[in-house]
Structures are given as structure tokens and as C-alpha cells.
């Protein structure tokens, strides 16, 4: 089953710095640095007038209709009630937060035309565009954001993503019901000026603002329609598109919003989002010409795609780590680091990544994936050893832990139903058996049962897990193994680790902060509460006539950046 998490974009350091040193009008640094890939048609954002009608010498199709595969049915289009990647893809098209993104995922002004950050990094002042409009013509006001954020945090809304806003002063107390939503440290200074005060310097805060839960909602229509405000006909939004049709389990149609401030640069008129859960069906519809964009192809078709549609398949790195956890709160793994290390070292990650999982995933020897903003990933020292040396070392550790061929270790691997998880579990069991003689029994569990067992930490020994970052920062990985974190299903506790994370949270200097986080990761890796296996990739197939498509590590793909070429 997929991991229902959203991800937030990277925050190039220069934007922050550029902003700190005074910014007025358009943010130049981001404008210039925004586009640098070689994929030819990436200029949409800048050469505005020409790109929308004639990108280079390419001829646009007469009908600008985009058929977009979108995984599963969105749970909701209400930014505060939705959860999961599919709804966020739609929300990024119909709403616009303060911060926008380039096709590569770099941060640029969105509904806010500029912003200022205080010296200590805790006070943000946003200036909303004069021409920002709701789809009914109302101006987008600073108070609309305040309204939305109060609703996001209000306990009675019950939002999955209220935690996103935890860096803002008072937010946590509001979530816990200890303070009123009105006390949130976000205030509208005037119609278009918004001041937000944070608890501490949070270098990834601007990136958080590309998360769909922070998008504004139209107060008048929420008051009028209540819970039904996010339906077609009712929904008033401020993005490049407006919701026009929603047939549950069939499709969602969005159409160009003529009142959007940057409407002149939008090329595609209509986007159909199809909730197609069955990946091979999605690929078939793509091949039959009904879809222009496959959200995720089935991995067993990777070889076929490579041979038959090589230019259309895209597998860029995605900010996630596929790993196995040890339950370190119970025997046999409690206080048995040697055994854990032996098991981790035995895995041939190259075979798992290249032959079992395929789709371009990258073998993982560390926790924070490559490509995270302002971070160099830590990796195990033994990564440099040859396979034979690793095995010899693993065998020695295994024997020191008290096991041998005659007295083999017996263990259960738990995973949730999915073809991929099954293959990985079987491969891992086979590798342990071959190398050490471990008797690994694999246990498949239904998703909710699996989650329950993982959280209870009573019956689990080794379990599958995966984590996709909510925002592009090493902390979004680091916090997972904090002793108090909700997804620390290994039950890993190391006060030293917790202390380093706490230090990093108040450290304003990015370099020092990085050092602290790297130090923490090193400590955790050496404790072996988890086995990193591979770093995720996106599994996309896109028609060659879809212009403007650029890979990005957060996989945020805005339809307004794309255009359909004649085909």
C-alpha cells in the first residue's frame, strides 16, 4: 500500500539569504535561478508571453486538454480534511498558497508577491499580490489565510495535517485545545499584509507553505456551505484552475480560472484527473491513448517500458527511504546490536535495488536520502568494503551474538500486502538464509492490522516501513527516530540523539544545524534500529507531447506549468 504523505519543496538557501537582505517587488534571485535544467521546454515560467502561445518552435495543440492519471480517489478537496498525495495534486492546481514553485521545485512567490524575514528568523511578513483574486472575483485577503489556518488548527476540524503548522507560535497549544484558534500567531496587519511569528527559526518554513494544508479557503463560501464548500458549484478557489466536475471514482475536471493573476501564462485549459488505482490498468489506458500521464507504473512493467517507451518513462529520485525496522523494545533485538548489524550488513542492496525492485531505485546505506536540501547524507563505513569482506564481518558479528549454522536465528518479517513488499521480503529472507543460515519467516498482513501491530510493538520483530518526507529538510527524516515520535515503530531511544535534534531545532546557523543533524544521523545509524534498503524514485510515464514536464524530487507537478503539443 502506498504511503499517504505529502511532501514539501526545497528551499534554496539563496532565496532565504536574498530575502534577508531586503527584497521588494518580484523576487529576482528566484526568478533567475528558477530554471536551469536542460529539458528544453522549461522556460514556461519566465518567457511568459511567448511560452504560453509558442514555446520555442513547438506547435501547441488546438485543444489544450490534459488527461492526468492520479492514483486513487482523493479523500477530500478541502485542504484541511484531505490526506494523501492524490488530493494534493489536485489542490495544487485549484488553490494557491503564499509560496509557489518552479517546475523544478524551487520556491517562488505565489499568492504573496514578496515577504520579509526578521533577523532571528522567527517573524515572517508576507505581502499578498494586489491582483490575487478568488474565482468569484473577490480579492484574496490576508485575513483569508488567517481564517484558513485557524480552521486548520481548530480541534473540531480534526485535520490530519494540523501538525504541519506546529512551528508557528501557539499552534501546538491550539491543536491540543489548550488555547483558542484566535490566539494563533498569524495576523492580518491590513488587507494584504500578513505577519506570522514562529516558535524558533525554522529554515524549512517557506517550504511548508507549499503544502496543501496551508492553502487559503474562501471564508464566505465556507460559512455558506459548511462542510460542502469543496464541492463543484460551491468551491471558490484562488488557483490557476477551478473545480467544474467531480464524478466520484471516475474523474475530476478542473477548468482554467480566468481570474487567476497569472492566467496569461497558463496554457492548458482543462485537466481531467482520473483516480485509477490499478497501475496496470492506468498503463493500458495510457497506451490506448486515453491518458497523457501515468501517476505510477507497475514495477513489473519497468523492463517493458525501458524497451518500448524509453523516452516516456521517468524515474527521478523521490524524497523517501524504504527501510526495515527492528523492534528494539523486545528480545531478540533488544540490546542485541551485533545481531542487528549482522543482519543489516548481510543484505545485498544492489541486488534488491537493481534486480528485485528496479525502477531506478538507489541502494540506501544511510537514513536521509541524497538530494535533501543543505545536507550531505551519512552512510555506513562498511559500505566501502567488498561483498566478501562485509559477509565475513557479518558472520563474525552473528556468531558473537550467539548464533551459528547449527544454532540458527529464527525471525519473523512482517510486511503489508503489496507485490513489491512481498518481493523485497522474500529477497531479504533468502539473503539472510544464504549468508547466515537465518530462518526468516515472512508474514503478510492486511494494512490496518499491520499498522496496529507495528504501533503496539508487541508481536513485531522485523517490519517493513517506508518514509516519504513532508518537506525537503533532513529534519523530516531525523524526527522519525526521536524517542517521542509517533512513527518510531522500532522503539528506538537514545537520549543523545534526542538532545542533538533538540539543539538543531533552535540553531539559527544553517551550517551548524547541518552538523548537528549529521552527527545525530551517524549515532542512530551506528545503533542499527533500522535497515535502510533503498531510496525511492517516482514512477511516471508522460506522453512526449506533454511540454514543460520537469522531474522534481518532491514530485510536485502543477498543470499550469505544462502544455500540450500538437500530436
Partner 1 sequence: MLAFAFKRFLGAWPTLLLIITVAFFMVRLAPGGPFDTEKTLPPEIQANLDKKYHLDEPLVMQYGRYLWDIARGDFGPSFQYKDYSVNELIGAGFPVSLRLGGSAILLALIIGVTLGAIAALRQNSRVDYSVMTTAMVGISIPNFVMAPLLLLVFAVYLGWLPAGGWEGGSFRNTVLPIIALSLPQVAYIARLTRGSMIEVLRSNFIRTARAKGLPEHTVIIRHALKPALLPVVSYLGPATAAVITGSVVIEQIFGLPGLGRYFVQGALNRDYTLVMGVVIFYGVLIIVFNLIVDLLYAVLDPRVRY
Partner 2 sequence: MTDIDAVSEVRGRSLWADARRRLFTNKAAVTSMIILSIVAVMVLLAPFLSPHDFDATDWELMSSPPTIANAHFFGTDSLGRDLFVRTLYGGRVSLMVGIVATLVSLLIGITYGATAGYFGGKIDHLMMRFVDILYAMPFMFFVILLMVFFGRNIFLIFVAIGAINWLDMARIVRGQTLSLKRKEFIEAAEAAGVPGFTIIRRHIVPNLLGVVIVYVTLTIPQVILVESFLSFLGLGVQEPFTSWGALVNEGAKDMETASWSLIFPAIFLALTLFCFNFIGDGLRDALDPKDR
Residues making contact with partner 1 (CB under 8 A): 3-5, 73, 75-78, 81-83, 155-160, 162-163, 175-177, 227-228, 230-231, 247-251, 274, 276-278, 280-281, 284-285, 287-290, 446-449, 451-452, 455, 465-466, 486-487
Task: Give phi and psi for 413, each to the nearest 5.
Answer: -105, 125
CB closer to partner 2 out of 10 and 427:
427
CB closer to partner 2 out of 340 and 454:
454
To partner 2, the closest distance from the beta carbon of 424 in angstroms equals 10
> Please, what is the end-to-end C-alpha distance for the chain in angstroms?
35
To partner 2, the closest distance from the beta carbon of 438 in angstroms equals 14
303 contact choice in partner 2, partner 1, none (CB below 5 to 8 Å, kind-dependent): partner 2
CB closer to partner 1 out of 127 and 322:
322
Residue among 279, 283, 444, 298 nearest 358 (CA): 298
476 contact choice in partner 2, partner 1, none (CB below 5 to 8 Å, kind-dependent): none
**Cα 545 from chain centroid?**
27
156 contact choice in partner 2, partner 1, none (CB below 5 to 8 Å, kind-dependent): partner 1
CB closer to partner 2 out of 36 and 446:
446
For residue 384, give every residue at least 6 positions away whose Cβ sits within 8 Å of its Cβ, in sequence order, or none.
none
CB closer to partner 2 out of 352 and 480:
352
32 contact choice in partner 2, partner 1, none (CB below 5 to 8 Å, kind-dependent): none
423 contact choice in partner 2, partner 1, none (CB below 5 to 8 Å, kind-dependent): partner 2
To partner 1, the closest distance from the beta carbon of 179 in angstroms equals 12
For residue 153, give every residue at least 6 positions away whose Cβ sits within 8 Å of its Cβ, in sequence order, or none.
159, 162, 165, 171, 174, 175, 181, 184
To partner 1, the closest distance from the beta carbon of 67 in angstroms equals 10
To partner 2, the closest distance from the beta carbon of 441 in angstroms equals 8
Q: For the chain, how many residues are written? A: 567
Tell me the DSSP string of 177-231: TSS-GGGSSEEEEETTEEEEEBSS--TTHHHHTTSGGG----HHHHHHHGGGGGS
The residue assigned the cell 498525495 is 85
- 30 touches 107 (CB < 8 A): yes
To partner 1, the closest distance from the beta carbon of 248 in angstroms equals 6
* Dihedral, 183, 187, 189, 193 alpha carbons, nearest 10: 180
Q: What nine digits make up the cell of 288?
A: 490506448
CB closer to partner 2 out of 333 and 450:
450
CB closer to partner 2 out of 444 and 515:
444
CB closer to partner 2 out of 404 and 417:
417
CA–CA dist 436, 520 (Å, integer): 30
CB closer to partner 2 out of 15 and 462:
462
To partner 2, the closest distance from the beta carbon of 422 in angstroms equals 6
Sign of CA dihedral 108, 114, 118, 119: positive
Q: By the criterion CB under 8 A, which residues form the site for partner 2?
A: 280, 298, 300-301, 303-304, 351, 355-356, 416-417, 419, 422-423, 425-427, 429-430, 442-446, 449
To partner 1, the closest distance from the beta carbon of 184 in angstroms equals 16
For residue 120, give every residue at least 6 positions away whose Cβ sits within 8 Å of its Cβ, in sequence order, or none.
201, 508
CB closer to partner 1 out of 381 and 452:
452
- 528 touches 326 (CB < 8 A): yes
Task: Using only the alpha carbons of the chain, give its radius of gyration.
Answer: 24
CA–CA dist 97, 9 (Å, integer): 13
- 425 touches 464 (CB < 8 A): yes
3 contact choice in partner 2, partner 1, none (CB below 5 to 8 Å, kind-dependent): partner 1
171 contact choice in partner 2, partner 1, none (CB below 5 to 8 Å, kind-dependent): none
To partner 1, the closest distance from the beta carbon of 517 in angstroms equals 21
228 contact choice in partner 1, partner 2, none (CB below 5 to 8 Å, kind-dependent): partner 1
To partner 2, the closest distance from the beta carbon of 433 in angstroms equals 9
4 contact choice in partner 2, partner 1, none (CB below 5 to 8 Å, kind-dependent): partner 1
In which element (H, E) is residue 107 found?
strand 107-109
61 contact choice in partner 2, partner 1, none (CB below 5 to 8 Å, kind-dependent): none
To partner 1, the closest distance from the beta carbon of 252 in angstroms equals 11
CA–CA dist 349, 364 (Å, integer): 7
Q: What nine digits make up the cell of 525?
A: 545509524
486 contact choice in partner 1, partner 2, none (CB below 5 to 8 Å, kind-dependent): partner 1
498 contact choice in partner 1, partner 2, none (CB below 5 to 8 Å, kind-dependent): none
Beta strand 410-416 pairing with 462-468: parallel
To partner 2, the closest distance from the beta carbon of 477 in angstroms equals 28
190 contact choice in partner 2, partner 1, none (CB below 5 to 8 Å, kind-dependent): none
For residue 294, give every residue at least 6 positions away whose Cβ sits within 8 Å of its Cβ, in sequence order, or none.
69, 279, 282, 283, 286, 540, 541, 542
CB closer to partner 1 out of 180 and 396:
180
Task: Describe the strand order of the beta sheet including 540-542 as a list of residue ranges.
Answer: 241-247, 251-256, 270-274, 65-69, 293-294, 540-542, 313-314
User: H-type helices in 73-141, by residue range?
Assistant: 85-94
To partner 1, the closest distance from the beta carbon of 254 in angstroms equals 15
CB closer to partner 2 out of 7 and 421:
421
CB closer to partner 1 out of 73 and 144:
73
CA–CA dist 237, 254 (Å, integer): 11
Amino acid at each position: 500500500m502506498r504511503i499517504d504523505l505529502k511532501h514539501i519543496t526545497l528551499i534554496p538557501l539563496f532565496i532565504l539569504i536574498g530575502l534577508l537582505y531586503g527584497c521588494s517587488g518580484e523576487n529576482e534571485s528566484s526568478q533567475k535561478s528558477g530554471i536551469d535544467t536542460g529539458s528544453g521546454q522549461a522556460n514556461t515560467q519566465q518567457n511568459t508571453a511567448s511560452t504560453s502561445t509558442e514555446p520555442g518552435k513547438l506547435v501547441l495543440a488546438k485543444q489544450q486538454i490534459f488527461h492526468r492519471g492520479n492514483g486513487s480517489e482523493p479523500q477530500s478537496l478541502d485542504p484541511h480534511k484531505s490526506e494523501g498525495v492524490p488530493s494534493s495534486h489536485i489542490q495544487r492546481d485549484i488553490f494557491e498558497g503564499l509560496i509557489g514553485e518552479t517546475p523544478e521545485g524551487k520556491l517562488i512567490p505565489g499568492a504573496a508577491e514578496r515577504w520579509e524575514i526578521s533577523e532571528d528568523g522567527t517573524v515572517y511578513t508576507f505581502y499578498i499580490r494586489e491582483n490575487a483574486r478568488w474565482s468569484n472575483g473577490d480579492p484574496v485577503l490576508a485575513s483569508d489565510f488567517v481564517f484558513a489556518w485557524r480552521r486548520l488548527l481548530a480541534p473540531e476540524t480534526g485535520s490530519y495535517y494540523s501538525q504541519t503548522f506546529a512551528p508557528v507560535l501557539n499552534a501546538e497549544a491550539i491543536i491540543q485545545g489548550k488555547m483558542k484558534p484566535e490566539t494563533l500567531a498569524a495576523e492580518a496587519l491590513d488587507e494584504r499584509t500578513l505577519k506570522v511569528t514562529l516558535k524558533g527559526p525554522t529554515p524549512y518554513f517557506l517550504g511548508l507553505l507549499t503544502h496543501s494544508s496551508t492553502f487559503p479557503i474562501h471564508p464566505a463560501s465556507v460559512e455558506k456551505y459548511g462542510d460542502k464548500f469543496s464541492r463543484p458549484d460551491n468551491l471558490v478557489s484562488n488557483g490557476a484552475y477551478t473545480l467544474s466536475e467531480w464524478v466520484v471514482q471516475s474523474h475530476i475536471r478542473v477548468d482554467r480560472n480566468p481570474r487567476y493573476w497569472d492566467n496569461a501564462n497558463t496554457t492548458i485549459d482543462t485537466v481531467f484527473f482520473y483516480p485509477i488505482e490499478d497501475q496496470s490498468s492506468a498503463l493500458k489506458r495510457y497506451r490506448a491513448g486515453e491518458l497523457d500521464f501515468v501517476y505510477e507504473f507497475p514495477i513489473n512493467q519497468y523492463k517493458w517500458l525501458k524497451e518500448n517507451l524509453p523516452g516516456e518513462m521517468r524515474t527521478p529520485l523521490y524524497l523517501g527511504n524504504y527501510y526495515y525496522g527492528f523492534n528494539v523494545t523486545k528480545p531478540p533485538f533488544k540490546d542485541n546490536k551485533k545481531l542487528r548489524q549482522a543482519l543489516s550488513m548481510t543484505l545485498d542492496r544492489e541486488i534488491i535495488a537493481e534486480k528485485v525492485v528496479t525502477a531506478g531505485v538507489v541502494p540506501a546505506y544511510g537514513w536521509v536520502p541524497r538530494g535533501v536540501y543543505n545536507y550531505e547524507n551519512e552512510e555506513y563505513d562498511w559500505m566501502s568494503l567488498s561483498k566478501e569482506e562485509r559477509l565475513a564481518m557479518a558472520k563474525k558479528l552473528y556468531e558473537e551474538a550467539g548464533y551459528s549454522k547449527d544454532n540458527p536465528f529464527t525471525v519473523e518479517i512482517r510486511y503489508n500486502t503489496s507485490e513489491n513488499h512481498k518481493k523485497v521480503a522474500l529477497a531479504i529472507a533468502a539473503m539472510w538464509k544464504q549468508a547466515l543460515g537465518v530462518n526468516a519467516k515472512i508474514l503478510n498482513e492486511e494494512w490496518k492490522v499491520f499498522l496496529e501491530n507495528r504501533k503496539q510493538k508487541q508481536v513485531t520483530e522485523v517490519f517493513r516501513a517506508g518514509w516519504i518526507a513532508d518537506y525537503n529538510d533532513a529534519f523530516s527524516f531525523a524526527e522519525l527516530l526521536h524517542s517521542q515520535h509517533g512513527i518510531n515503530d522500532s522503539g528506538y531511544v537514545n537520549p543523545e540523539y534526542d538532545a542533538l535534534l533538540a539543539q538543531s531545532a533552535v540553531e539559527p546557523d544553517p551550517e551548524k544545524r547541518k552538523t548537528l543533524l549529521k552527527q545525530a544521523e551517524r549515532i542512530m545509524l551506528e545503533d542499527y534500529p533500522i535497515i535502510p534498503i533503498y531510496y525511492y524514485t517516482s514512477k511516471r510515464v508522460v506522453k512526449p507531447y506533454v511540454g514543460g514536464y520537469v522531474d522534481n524530487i518532491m514530485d510536485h507537478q502543477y498543470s499550469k506549468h505544462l502544455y500540450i503539443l500538437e500530436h
